[in-house]
Amino acid sequence: MSNSNLKQILTDGAWRQNTGLVVLLGLCPLLAVTNTVVNGLVLGLATMLTLMVSNLAVSIMRGLLKPEIRIPAFVLIIASVVTVIELLMNAYFYDLFRVLGIFIPLIVTNCAIIGRAEAFASRNAPLPSLIDGFATGLGFCITLVLLGALRELAGRGTLFSGADMLLGDWGQHLALTIIPEHPGFLLAMLPPGAFLGLALLIAARNAWEARNSDTQTIPVTHLVADHHET
Amino acid sequence: MSGKSHPVIRSSLLLGLIALLGTALLAGVNELTHERIVEQEKLRILRQLNEILPTASFNNDLLEDVIEINDEVFFRHSAPVKVYRARMNDQAVAVLMNLVAPDGYNGDIRLLAGVSANGEILGVRVISHRETPGLGDPIEKQRSDWILGFNHKSLQNPESDGWAVKRDGGEFDQFTGATISPRAVVRAVHNTLIYFEANAQMLFDTPAQSE
């Protein structure tokens, strides 16, 4: 595996094929939990971990998996990994687990994960698969954090509120009040704010791409139907 | 089918194996985390209870001294009301009741209300709700001090008519743009006091129900 290849995988996963901004997979958790930075970060990290472990497991077993059983096998692997993460969070990050609630088990239905298992891990060696999982997860996580920051700032005028749930008591000092006496902007906190915020992020990304690739055309956003998503 | 097993059988076995591995993994992790999860759950409940009732004011095991009341008509909800009894050297100190206000703007508002043995509110907290952020959510202590307004209230203070939000002629504030959420909470707390006055003896004397 050459370095340029690994770099390719990294940029593909995190930027060129960013799950949240380009491929638009896994929108249900993306839109639902991003009302604060901390919520977004935690779900992003949990998703990233799931992607890495499931990619690795699928890649190791790829020689054994016949095409007709690969989908149920993927589902079994992903569901096991997510349940392990759920139990661990419940035990060690109890408050956060309660905030994110149903969205941790719902990582199972994030079709970005089964998508990477199918499109990448089942065809590549363990190391590149692991890196692909990391890169895709990183891209997703960054999107969640950006959207969370956007909405928290607009909606409440704070950043990193609730960091104590992740880091213990000293996390309270991390909570920043950027706009004191913010009256609260309801739209940003409610679901419509998530759609608008995501649209702004996608627009910003496309504008950036357009400016940095004079000869290339703007990458076409693939509209992939979320078949697997509940 | 000569010698080698049928591909379907092979695939099924493989799937079964993966399921088995997954189950083993989950069983292991469950074994490792189970105790801690139960512990965390207890701690969380205790933290909620202690916010209303200081640890120094009782010396029984609050989490074990629990009964459940099923009075769907009175509490207007099918969920049983959990009652934690606090005692100091077997003297009744207070009850903490986990109840539901069914008429929030967006459905159930789950509350924890503490009532001292002499019928005074020790404190009320919102455990969970789905009220509109920014409008109905000042019922949370994190958002405003409104919920502290119940402290030291009783059936005599104020009299029955006063147990309503100001818009309804009572003495509790509503919020700008939200009357339904505070109204639901006031009604549920008032109901709790009425129930307590009529049933105080029973609430303290019923033997604890082991879970």
Residue ranges for chain B with pLDDT beneath 70: 1-4, 210-211
Residue B22's pLDDT is what?
Answer: 92
Q: pLDDT for A40-60, tens place per residue?
A: 998 999 999 999 999 999 999
Task: Tell me the chain A residues in contact with residue B36 when contact means C-beta distances shorter than 8 Å.
Answer: 91-92
Out of A29-33, A96-100, A114-118, B8-12, pick the least confident. A96-100
Q: pLDDT for A6-17, tens place per residue?
A: 888 888 888 888
Residue B34's pLDDT is what?
Answer: 92
Amino acid identity for residue A165 in this structure: M
Percent of chain A residues past pLDDT 70, beyond the cut? 90
Q: Are residues B114 and B50 in contact, defined by beta-carbon separation less than 8 angstroms?
A: no
Task: Tell me the chain B residues in contact with residue A64 when contact means C-beta distances shorter than 8 Å.
Answer: 14
Q: Are residues A141 and A33 in contact, defined by beta-carbon separation less than 8 angstroms?
A: no
A173 Cβ partners below 8 Å, 6+ apart?
A: none
Percent of chain A residues past pLDDT 90, beyond the cut? 35
Residue A216's pLDDT is what?
Answer: 53
Q: Does the CB of A90 have a partner CB in chain B at under 8 Å? A: yes
Out of A15-29, A169-183, A215-229, B76-90, pick the least confident. A215-229
Given a cut of 50, whether residue A222 has pLDDT beyond it is: no
Give the model's confidence band at A19: pLDDT under 50 very low, under 70 low, under 90 confident, else very high: confident
Residue A227's pLDDT is what?
Answer: 45
Residue B199's pLDDT is what?
Answer: 92
Of A72, A87, A186, the CB nearest to B29: A87
Mutation for testing the B interface, residue in A58, A90, A172, A190 having most B CBs under 10 Å: A90
- Contact (CB<8Å) B7/A66: yes
Taking the C-alpha atoms of residue A161 and residue A179, their distance in angstroms, rounded to an integer, is 13
Which residues partner with B111 through β-bridges?
B99, B126
Give the model's confidence band at A230: pLDDT under 50 very low, under 70 low, under 90 confident, else very high: very low
Residue A82's pLDDT is what?
Answer: 93
Task: Tell me the chain A residues in contact with residue B135 when contact means C-beta distances shorter than 8 Å.
Answer: 186
Q: Does the CB of A91 have a partner CB in chain B at under 8 Å? A: yes
- Contact (CB<8Å) A61/B15: no
Tokens 């109905």 identify what position?
B136
Given a cut of 80, whether residue A223 has pLDDT beyond it is: no
Count the residues in chain B: 211
Interface of A with B in 44-83 (CB under 8 A): 61, 64-66, 68-69, 72-73, 76-77, 79-80, 83
Residue B4's pLDDT is what?
Answer: 67
Q: Are residues A35 and A189 in contact, defined by beta-carbon separation less than 8 angstroms?
A: yes
Taking the C-alpha atoms of residue B67 and residue B63, their distance in angstroms, rounded to an integer, is 10
